[in-house]
Amino acid sequence: MKTIKDIDIKNKKVIIRCDFNVPIKDGKIIDDTRIISSLQTIKYCLDQNTKIILLSHLGRVKEEADLAKNDLAPVAVRLSELLNCEVKFIPKTRGQELETAIENMNFKDIILIQNTRYEDLDGKKESSNDEELGKYWASLGDVFINDAFGTAHRAHASNVGIASNLPSAVGFLIEKELTALSSLNDPEHPFIVILGGAKVSDKIGVIKNLVNKADKIIIGGGMAFTFLKAKGYETGTSLIDEENIEFCKKVLKNYSNKIILPVDVAVTTEFTEKEEYKVKDINNIEKNEMGLDIGPKTITYFAEQIKNAKIVVWNGPLGVYEFNKYKVGTDKLLEYIVNNNIKTILGGGDIVAAAVNYKDKIYHASTGGGATLEYLEGKTLPGIAVIK
């Protein structure tokens, strides 16, 4: 893997594809983790006396109405504060204003251009990796650094398109993400996988790819109920992925000793936070009840399973994390991991957000949910493959 240190960038115009896809409400950035994660690469480029052109996407742009709410301007302000220097924002993705601003750059100047997905309004040019757009952006610089792990699983004009037209390398963030994830290629054992979230269908690829490598796969969240139903339990009105019951049956049959399921759950009758809930063993769920979190016996049981783990990878919450009442299972297991110093890789928005207060205590919290998942599925990440 060619990293930023393997490529000569000194005194050059460097285009860096960052992941500034941060939550913004009323023009205010709510969580700047991704901006902070990009600083090491930007600072290194400053030290190398380069002219820096930053690109990123923000949200999705499908229609005119999406433009204003996905304006990248607030990121330039925050970045200026964090770097303690001016970051000039160009509210365009191409054209005279952008080209003149680049022509007038001095070394160590930084420009951030408008959300790359503004180009999606015109025939999805960014997201479909329009050849002409990739070439155009590449023409603005001398070297390309991809540091956006969050979009590495997509072939877009702002990563694959530019990299196909310029000498390229990955930045420090992608290098860090890949170093952490590659420890799972030949993992130390016990290697335990924890999967949660809504649907089995989203995790089939991960289960197939890791079931032979992992010593245990712990399953919680909505997807646990499809497995419980496959085992013959009454699951009431819990979330069920009917199409994948057969898949779950097969996995349970072939890997019965590896799949770890909840033994008790928090159940209620409505998908809201208002109703009272009861904790029930999994053989006592009634027809009108839905499980929205794992129960206390399960928390202890899951903790027992990971106690001696050499490495854990966790994707997806173990309950309905958006409701305070049903985030207990996820939070308690996370607390156990932190308190017991269990080497853990977290991937996926919900679970990384759950660990926000443990930033330095988790071995690795990935900045890319989808990219991590595809890596765990054993897939090639096009944004990185193009650089290899």
Q: Does 246 bind ligand AMP (CB under 6 A)?
A: no
Q: 365 in helix, strand or coil?
A: strand
CB of 215 to ligand AMP, least distance (A): 23
Does the annotation mark 349 as catalytic? Answer: yes
Pick 98 or 239: Cβ nearer ligand AMP = 239
State which of residues 134, 141, 236, 291 lies at the interface with ligand AMP (CB under 6 A): 291
Active site residue 278: no
- In angstroms, the CA 378 to CA 205 distance is 8
Residue 89 three-state SS: strand
Q: How many CB atoms lie within 10 A of CB 198?
A: 15
Minimum Å gap between C-beta 202 and ligand AMP is 5
- What six digits make up the tokens of 375? 């890596």
Residue 246 CA to residue 180 CA, distance in Å, equals 33
Active site residue 249: no
SS3 55: strand
Strand partners, 280: 265
Quote the CA–CA distance of 75 and 234 in Å, as a whole number. Answer: 49
By CB under 6 A, name the one of 32, 66, 202, 273 that touches ligand AMP: 202
Which is closer to ligand AMP, CB of 16 or CB of 346?
346
| 320, 342, 384, 386: residue in contact with ligand AMP (rule CB under 6 A) | 320
Does 289 participate in binding ligand AMP (rule CB under 6 A)?
no
Provide, rounded to whole angstroms, the least separation between the CB of residue 366 and ligand AMP: 13
Q: Give the residue with the Cβ less far from ligand AMP, 321 or 375.
A: 321
Question: Is the separation of the CB atoms in 318 and 223 below 8 Å?
Answer: no
Q: Is 236 assigned a catalytic role?
A: no
Q: Is 321 in the site for ligand AMP (CB under 6 A)?
A: yes
Taking alpha carbons only, the member of 12, 317, 292 closest to residue 142 is 12
Selected binder of ligand AMP within 134, 161, 187, 319 (CB under 6 A): 319
- Asked if 348 touches ligand AMP (CB under 6 A), the answer is yes
88 vs 199, beta carbon nearer ligand AMP: 199
For 29, the enclosing helix (H) or strand (E) is: strand 28-29
Looking up tokens 């990878």, which residue turns up? 313
Least distance CB 52 / ligand AMP (angstroms): 34
Burial 371-384 (b: 16+ CB within 10 A, else e): bbbbbbbeeebbbb
Query: Which one of 99-107, 116-124, 279-287, 312-320 is the stretch in contact with ligand AMP (CB under 6 A)?
Result: 312-320
CA 328 from chain center: how many Å?
A: 22
Q: What are phi and psi of 253, to 5 degrees?
A: -70, -45
Give the nearer residue to ligand AMP in terms of CB position, either 140 or 294: 294
Exactly one of 34, 154, 258, 332 is catalytic; which is it? 34
Q: How far apart are CA 111 and CA 88, in angstroms?
A: 5
User: Interface residues for ligand AMP in 108-147 (CB under 6 A)?
Assistant: none
Residues serving a catalytic function are 34, 199, 349, 370
Binding-site ranges for ligand AMP (CB under 6 A): 196-199, 202, 221-222, 239, 291-292, 316-317, 319-322, 348, 350
